[in-house]
Every structure is written in C-alpha cells, then in structure tokens.
Amino acid sequence: MISDIVIGGVLIPGLLAVACLALVLTVAILRLLSATGASRRLALPPVVELAVLVIVFGLLVQSLPATGLLQ
C-alpha cells in the first residue's frame, strides 16, 4: 500500500506523488523519442504518449512499494 508523504506538515497522497513522478519520466522518455527521431514514425502520437504515461505509472506503482520508498 502506498502511504501518504508528509512535506512540511502537509500530507500529500502517495498516488499523487507517484503520478507526478510518472509524468516527469514520461516527458523525459518522449523527449528522448523526439531527439532520436523515433516519434516521427508513430501513427498516433497522443495515444502513444498516453500509453507511455499509463505504463510508467503502472511500473512505478508496482515497483516503489517493493523497494520501500513508498510504504
């Protein structure tokens, strides 16, 4: 279970923190795809962007509690 994070006495939901991290990682992945020219080969870039976000979010939700970072 992903617990809340306390920053300066303010509770931040764990899933919100994971979603923000997933968004940052997704932007980095998409910039990498754009820099290599791979994004030009995509048929529907917005769908691929959403799919990458969902995949990264799912991977983070599965992996972060196992590492002990968000328990």
- pTM here is 0.83
pLDDT at 71 over 80: no
Contact between residue 63 and residue 71 where contact means Cβ atoms under 8 Å apart: no
State residue 1's pLDDT score. Answer: 62
Q: How far apart are CA 20 and CA 5, in angstroms?
A: 13
Q: How far apart are CA 28 and CA 36, in angstroms?
A: 12
Domain limits at 53?
5-67
Average pLDDT score over the chain: 89
State residue 64's pLDDT score. Answer: 79
pLDDT at 66 over 90: no
- For the beta carbon of residue 70, count every other beta carbon within 10 angstroms: 20
**What's the number of domains the chain is made of?**
1
pLDDT at 35 over 90: yes
Q: What is the CB-side half-sphere exposure of residue 39 using CA atoms within 13 A?
A: 16
